[in-house]
Amino acid sequence: MSKVKLTRPKTQAQSGVVVDAPRSGRSRPAQVAAKAERAGQGPRPRRTQAERSESTQKKVLDAAIRLLRQRGYGGLRTSEVAELAGVSRGAQLHHFPTKHDLIVATLRHLNEKAAAQSRRRAGAAHGPDDAVAAIIADAHDFFFSDFFFVQLAISMGDGEAKELRRETYQLSRDNRFAVEAAWCEALVAAGVPPKLAEDVLALTLSIVRGFSVRTFIEDDPERFSHLYEVWRRIVGEYLASHLGPRQADKRPGKDKETNVGPDPDRAAVLRSPGHRRPRGERPLRD
């Protein structure tokens, strides 16, 4: 009977294998965590699956926005979106299986972002004149953005994009109506009657939107800015004819005036678009 010969494992020097011994009995991750704790940072928490998924989606959407601005809807390639986002093609397809899904998600994200900014601006407006100036600025940011022109291109696209038009139309409609409601509330809170607030808002948005479309034949920012100011003054005089001059030009820090009626002798009232001259009265001239 043969005996089993037990041998002692060779040491590192005997085996010829040189392995750096750890400086302590801790593993590498434990050493990093201990170092962070000593620095007062604490161990970095691991991200959850939901957080990793949200991060991936944000990277893809940000990349899609950049490419949409550069190339428009027709020039967008989903493979390029994944490459720009720095994610795998599989990760992108997991969240956005088709180009249609990616475009709808991107436009929804942009609509919600723009709507949130508009609501913040509306909440910060003080007084009718300040609100009108803020509406003009907010509308300019939206209607002159690449995002608006991408939506415009989709809405005027061919029959192949019919389903995409239907979905983007509905989400754009919902968000823009919410924005308009926020601005109407801001005007009413500033003392403008609801019906008058709706009229001022509709006309202001239409003017800014019209200038944005005009950029196809004339892109003149300085003239647009001048005309915005002309419109703001016209609206100011119109509101003064209905609310009284102090109420229409109310600013933070000024005394609040309520139930102040118009003064029919004011020249601004006679010049305002809303003033109806009695039969036979000549228009006021400078």
For the record, the structure tokens of 258 come out as: 């309520």
Choice among 170-179, 201-210, 249-258 with the minimum mean pLDDT: 249-258
By three-state DSSP, how is residue 118 classified?
helix
SS3 of 215-248: the string is CCCCCCHHHHHHHHHHHHHHHHHHHHHHHCHHHH
CATH topology for 50-97? Arc Repressor Mutant, subunit A (1.10.10)
182-213 pLDDT per residue, tens: 999 999 999 999 999 999 999 999 999 999 99
Report pLDDT for 70.
82
Q: Give the list of residues 6+ apart from residue 69 with CB closer than 8 angstroms, or none.
A: 146, 147, 150
Please state the pTM of the whole predicted model.
0.65
Residue 248 has pLDDT above 70, yes or no: no
36-75 pLDDT per residue, tens: 555 555 555 777 877 888 889 899 998 988 888 888 777 8
| Mean pLDDT, the chain, integer | 76
What's the CA gap between 166 and 190, in Å, rounded? 36
Residue 273 has pLDDT above 70, yes or no: no
107-145 pLDDT per residue, tens: 888 888 999 999 999 999 989 999 999 999 999 999 998
What's the CA gap between 144 and 225, in Å, rounded? 13
8-state DSSP, 145? S
Percent of the chain scoring above 70 in pLDDT: 68
Domain boundaries, the chain: 50-97, 103-271
| Confidence band, pLDDT 50/70/90 cuts, at residue 35 | low
8-state DSSP, 187? H
Residue 33 has pLDDT above 80, yes or no: no
Report pLDDT for 34.
55
| Confidence band, pLDDT 50/70/90 cuts, at residue 22 | very low
User: What are the backbone angles phi and psi of residue 128, rounded to the nearest 5°?
Assistant: -60, -45
